[in-house]
Structures are given as C-alpha cells and as structure tokens.
Amino acid sequence: MTPLPSASAAGSLFLPFSAGRLNLPNRIVMAPMTREFSPNGIPGADVAEYYTRRAAGGVGLIITEGTYIDHPSAGTSRRVPFFHGEEALAGWGGVVEAVHAAGGRIAPQLWHVGAARAVGAPPFPDAPPVGPSGLALDGTPFGEAMSSADVDDVVNAFADAAAAAERLGFDAIELHGAHGYLIDQFFWSGTNRRADAYGGDLVSRTRFAADIIAAVRTAVSPGFPIIFRLSQWKMGSYQAKMAESPQELESLLTPLVEAGADVLHASTRRYWLPEFEGSDLNLAGWAKKLTGLPAITVGSVGLDNEFINAFKGENSEITSIDRLLERLQRDEFDLVAVGRSLIADPGWAAKIRDGRADQVIGFDTEMLKSLR
C-alpha cells in the first residue's frame, strides 16, 4: 500500500511559487527526461499530448526533455528534439499551446552533449565530438578541443535558443549544466585542462557557463527566468565531485548567480543524501543556502531506488515522501522535480494533492518503452 503523507505536509507541495515572471500554482516540477520520440528532431502531436497529460494532472512546471541547440556537435540522436529550425520550433509552439491550454507552465531544457557524443553519431555524423580539452570523461584523448571561435558559436547558439523559447511563449528556460555534458565538462578539472581564460582553477572553469547565462540574460526579456541545472556526479562517474566543500560550491555558484541565473536545479540520484559531511543539507539545500536563489531538488522522489537502476531493468517500489515534505517545510529547497513517478502516473500530482496517494500507479521499467 502506498504510504499516505499527512494533509498538512502534503499541503506544502501545493503552495504557489514565483521567480521573475514565472508564477506556479504549486512546487511540483516535471524533471527533464530524454525520450527520443521526435523523429528527425521534430516534436509532433504525440509530444504535445505527453506533456499536456502531466500539465492536466497537476504538475506546476514541466521541464522538457533535453533539446539540441543549433550546433552540429550538440547532439547524438536523430530522435531527440531540436530547438532550432523552422519545423522543430513550430512543433514546440504546438507543445506550448497545448500545455498552456491545460493550465500548465513549461520550460525547454537546452542541451549540448559535448564529448559525450560518439564519433559519427547522428544527427550530423560528420561533426566531431567537442569539449573543453579534447578529453573523454575518463580523461583519455577524445574529440576536439574547442577553439575560441567554437566557444563563441556555442554561447551564441544557447542565447538564440533561449530567445526562440521566449518568442514561442515558453515560461522559462533551463540550461543543462550537469551530468558530464558540455557545460559540465568545462566545470570539471578531469575534462577541462585549458590554459586560457576558460580553464585553470574552479572559478576560471565556471566562465563558460557564466558566459552562456549572461548571453541568455541579454537575449531574453528582464524577468524571463533562467534555470540552471548542475550536478556533482557524471554519467559513468557517479562519485565525481567538483566541489569537495561548501566553500568550493560557493565559488562555483557565485559566478552563475552574478551572470543572471534565477533558479538552481541541483541534480542528485537520491534527494535524501547529505552533500557534505557535518550537515543534513542535500545539494539543492546547499545551493539555496549559499546563493539565496530558489532551488529545485530531484532524485528518486517517491521511489525506493535511483533512476540508473531503471535502465538496468530493475523496478522500483513506491515509498513515502514524508522525508521530502519535511525538508520542503523547513525551506531546505523550494521546488521538487519528479521523474519516473510522473512517467508511471501522469496524475501523480493531483493524487497527492487530493489525498489519493494510495491510488498512485507504480513505476515499471516497461514504461520506458512507451513514455506516453
């Protein structure tokens, strides 16, 4: 039987939230989850339906799956949606219209995979993998180191995508700076060994991200919210830490705040784990404490194991969210991103709101094949 949170605790999830022009009816965010259901990078009516079902089910803010910016090395699949080009943007316009009609708010996640791209991968097989120093996540030589011109091109591509998002009526944008993809590769000393202004100590390694945020801030209207997603862990390097202490984390985050980030989305695999010794705060809690910005927490909400295990074929059991609600009530973070629970049950938010947690549908790995 699904554990039922107390009405007062559950109520904390359904308080309104505002950041800039973003006004949400509750604190529940749909986490970005790659689907590969957009042939040739074009999101169709089924994509609109997928997100609209979650909006109608009570989600406060939808953050879309990662979308490729307009750079030939940005992606690694023909089925991940683009965020550039007339056809793709028209498709996204239809998604926004449908989500808004259902009463929802939505932000695209803007993405460049960097050196996570395989040689010869689609959608542009001739484009080489690129990164800060021509290194793979394990530190071995791979792909090409980005020139100053390459850096400028990518910064401008993020800004152009953000401007397009606002033009299409999106409510915010999220920059994907986590999980070992391009922006994160600049943060991490294991992949960034540049000798120019974009490399060196931790603060210098934040410059690429800060330049992107500043360019986006200039490209969009004042008050249009910029969400920045970060993580310590990387795909295939789950124990990685860019910041070993709160002081180092503050050094990393401060330039992002000064550049114009409005909300920090701190990605962890298990939200309940403390980030640093001597404190119960998780990564989102530290991000909020150190910067004063609103923070989104994420990581196995409502489930008993992390998402990595889902890709190994392991199912998850529904678990209590009482610990999560206690942290939210004491303002450790402001918003809660939910992933697999919303894949399993588009009505998850409404069921929690209405005291019907015992009716929540559990997550099954077979659901990953359809993602409807």
The runs of H, that is alpha helices, within the chain are 7-11, 45-56, 86-101, 148-168, 182-187, 202-205, 207-219, 246-259, 283-291, 307-310, 322-329, 340-344, 348-353
| Packing angle of the helix pair 45-56, 86-101 (nearest 10 deg) | 30
50, 68, 181, 271: which one is catalytic? 181
- Amino acid, res. 134: G
**Cis before 123? omega within 30:** yes
Active site residue 68: no
- For the chain, the 3-state helix, strand and coil shares in percent, each to the nearest 5, are 40, 15, 45
Q: Are 185 and 114 in contact (CB under 8 A)?
A: yes
Quick count: other Cβ atoms within 10 Å of Cβ 7?
8
Token pair belonging to 343:
């894949």
Residues known to be catalytic = 181
